[in-house]
Amino acid sequence: MALPTDSTQPRLAPGCRWGANGEDKVLLFPEGALRLQGTGQKIVELCDGQRTFAEIVAELQAHYNSNAGEIRDDVAGFLEQLKQKRIVDY
């Protein structure tokens, strides 16, 4: 399974979209739904097919003001998981 590279442009996979369940924003996909909060939600919101992985990391780093290397590894791992579930494509 490939991790995203700097130029990767992650996007929501086909059949995956945001929906609302009350106050919470949920990610809907064919066989289920994922309730994302905080950083997880923020990451997926940035996966618009336009921003590159490097840009997403930079934005998150600016937002959370933390170590770039750590954020990079965390985001890469998270996106890889979502790709495996076919929620995000890149």
Binding residues for other proteins, rule: CB under 8 A, are: 1-2, 13-17, 19-22, 26, 28-31, 33, 83-86
Closest separation between CB of residue 64 and other proteins, Å? Answer: 28
Cβ closest to other proteins, residue 18 vs residue 64? 18
Q: Which is nearer to other proteins, 15 or 69 (CB)?
A: 15
Per-residue CA distances from 24 to 19, 58, 84, 85 (Å):
9, 26, 24, 21
Question: Closest CB to other proteins among 58 and 76?
Answer: 76
